[in-house]
Amino acid sequence: MTDLIVLLIGISGVLVVGLNFILEATNKLAKDHHVFAYFNLYGAIALLLYSWYNEVWLFVVLNTFLSVVGIYGVYKVHNK
């Protein structure tokens, strides 16, 4: 059951990051918008959890970095 939950969290992270990329690339969502920041943060944390659970350490490092960037992005958006 835990495997399924972690898999669904990982899939949701991929979908959110992909959606965020598409919305930004088509100018539907600006990089300084709070939704963009939260999507990035959620996607990075979801993929961090997935990669940690599956012991894919290079992706743990990458997604830890992206999570820190996501936290900074949320901070930056809320302190304009």
Boundaries of every domain in the chain: 2-78
32/27 Cα distance (integer angstroms): 12
- CA-CA distances (angstroms) from residue 67 to 28, 45, 50? 23, 6, 13
pLDDT number for residue 32: 87
Residue 12 has pLDDT above 90, yes or no: yes
18-77 pLDDT per residue, tens: 999 999 999 998 888 999 999 999 999 999 999 999 999 999 999 999 999 999 999 999
Q: Where is 43: in which H helix or E strand? A: helix 34-53
Residue 80 has pLDDT above 90, yes or no: no
Give the burial class of 66: count Cβ atoms within 10 A of its Cβ; 0-12 exposed, 13-18 middle, 19 or more buried: buried
Which pTM does this prediction carry? 0.92
Instruction: Determine the Cα angle at 33 with ends 62 and 16, to 5°.
Output: 45
